[in-house]
């Protein structure tokens, strides 16, 4: 009888060990692909490439970035939705882009909360309004006055279907300015044309624009975050500049196609949150204007839902379109 009890106990221990190790064994034994529906060098791409090697170390397998820009993010989104829901294909995006895109895209719609599973946040960050140095303005109010004195003569360059485009529409609506829209496949191209003198206004992340501001090639007027960015402490916030309604913070993170098993989502979430404990990664994110931001999958989903409720009225009010 004692022997039978011992064998039963050993069997229970074995089952418990298997259950404990299960999450680590649920991912397919092949490289993890992270689809970024944005151009290389864009903020989403930069953050994804920062966290990918740390995730790889945590997971014990390769993590690669697959850029699929275009179509107002629809090309990358379609590729992610069509992938096998086994955790080997993820998508890197941000709020509010992830849930705004299906609301305004005329050719492709999806349910941001039902067709994808929130995996983990990586970072948060605000945006920055910059103008070309030849524009005779040193503050937001001076720029608004100049734009009103020259209706339709200034160009606003942005990546089509991105948050900078939406914030730019908010800015124009709040200030009553007539500034022409010049859409690009990605924000990087807009900045290139700005440096070439074809665009006078741009909105983007500190990571993209700060180096050009420091070099004197662009002039920073304001940031959209609640507080000034430590990388450019002399640049005021929109609220300080008299435009508190033009405030925004993006949350960057990973999504999985709907149907990925919960243990896989949990394993991926742990890999991201453990990665964010790295002081090297945290410092790297802050150097380019982002703040490390970790959540559980459940909290990320709640954050998305809350953000959606806040941004949908803005989309409707501005008449924002992606196509």
Which region, left, alpha or beta, applies to residue 143 given φ > 0 means left and ψ of -120 to 50 means alpha?
Answer: alpha
For the ranges 33-37, 245-249, 287-291, the maximum mean pLDDT occurs at 33-37
- From the list 166, 23, 24, the residue with the least C-alpha distance to 96 is 166
**Mean pLDDT, the chain, integer:** 89
Given a cut of 50, whether residue 206 has pLDDT beyond it is yes
Average pLDDT over residues 123-131: 95
Top pLDDT among 68 and 208 is at 68
Q: pLDDT tens, 71-116? A: 878 999 999 999 999 999 999 999 888 988 888 877 788 999 999 9
**pLDDT of 317:** 82
b/e map 15-37, b = 16+ CB within 10 Å: eeeeeeeebeebbeeeebbbbbb
DSSP helix/strand/coil, 98 = helix
CATH number assigned to the domain covering 29-125+251-318: 3.40.190.150
Could you tell me the pLDDT band of residue 2, with boundaries at 50, 70 and 90?
very low
pLDDT band for position 9 (50/70/90)? very low
Tell me: the pLDDT tens digits for 258-317?
999 999 999 999 999 999 999 999 999 988 888 999 999 999 999 999 988 888 888 888
Cα–Cα distance measured from residue 319 to residue 313, given in angstroms and rounded to the nearest whole number: 10
pLDDT for 139 beyond 60: yes
Are the CB atoms for 279 and 258 separated by under 8 Å?
no
- If pLDDT is split at 50, 70 and 90, which confidence band does 144 have? very high
Question: Domain boundaries in the chain?
Answer: 29-125+251-318, 127-223
What integer is the mean pLDDT of 62-70?
A: 95
* The CATH fold of domain 127-223: D-Maltodextrin-Binding Protein; domain 2 (3.40.190)
3-class secondary-structure state, position 142? helix
pLDDT tens profile 211-227: 999 999 999 999 999 88
Over residues 275-285, the pLDDT tens digits come to 999 999 999 99
Look at residue 162 in the predicted model and tell me its pLDDT.
78
Could you give the CA distance from residue 268 to residue 92 in angstroms, rounded to a whole number?
A: 13
Q: What is the pTM of this model?
A: 0.77
Write down the pLDDT at residue 322.
Answer: 65
Q: Do domains 29-125+251-318 and 127-223 have the same CATH topology?
A: yes
- Write the CB contacts of 56 (distance below 8 Å, at least 6 apart in sequence): 32, 62, 63
DSSP reduced 3-state for 244: coil
């Amino acid at each position: 009888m004692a022997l039978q009890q011992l064998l039963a106990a050993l069997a229970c221990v074995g089952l418990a060990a298997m259950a404990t190790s299960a999450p680590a064994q649920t991912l397919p034994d092949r490289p993890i692909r992270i689809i970024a529906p944005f151009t290389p060098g864009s903020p989403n791409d930069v953050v994804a490439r920062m966290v990918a090697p740390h995730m790889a170390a945590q997971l014990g397998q390769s993590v690669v970035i697959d850029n699929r820009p275009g179509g107002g993010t629809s090309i990358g989104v379609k590729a992610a939705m069509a992938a096998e829901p086994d955790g080997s294909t993820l998508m890197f995006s941000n709020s509010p882009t992830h849930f705004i895109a299906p609301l305004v895209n005329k050719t492709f719609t999806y349910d941001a909360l039902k067709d994808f599973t929130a995996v983990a946040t990586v970072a948060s960050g605000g945006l920055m309004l910059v103008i070309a140095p030849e524009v005779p303005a040193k503050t937001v109010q001076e720029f608004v006055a100049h734009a009103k004195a020259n209706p339709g003569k200034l160009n606003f360059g942005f990546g089509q279907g991105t948050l900078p485009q939406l914030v730019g529409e908010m800015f124009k609506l709040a200030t009553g300015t007539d500034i022409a829209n010049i859409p690009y496949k990605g924000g990087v191209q807009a900045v290139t044309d700005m440096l070439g003198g074809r665009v006078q206004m741009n909105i983007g992340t500190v990571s993209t624009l700060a180096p050009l501001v420091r070099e004197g090639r662009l002039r920073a007027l304001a940031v959209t975050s609640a507080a000034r960015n430590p990388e450019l402490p002399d640049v005021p916030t929109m609220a300080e500049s008299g435009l508190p309604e033009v405030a925004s913070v993006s949350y960057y993170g990973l999504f999985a196609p709907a149907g990925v098993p919960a243990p896989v989502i949990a394993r991926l979430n742990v890999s991201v949150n453990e990665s964010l404990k790295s002081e090297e990664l945290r410092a790297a994110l802050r150097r380019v204007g982002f703040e490390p931001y970790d959540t559980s999958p459940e909290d990320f989903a709640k954050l998305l839902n809350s953000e959606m409720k806040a941004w949908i009225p803005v989309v409707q009010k501005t008449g924002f379109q992606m196509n």
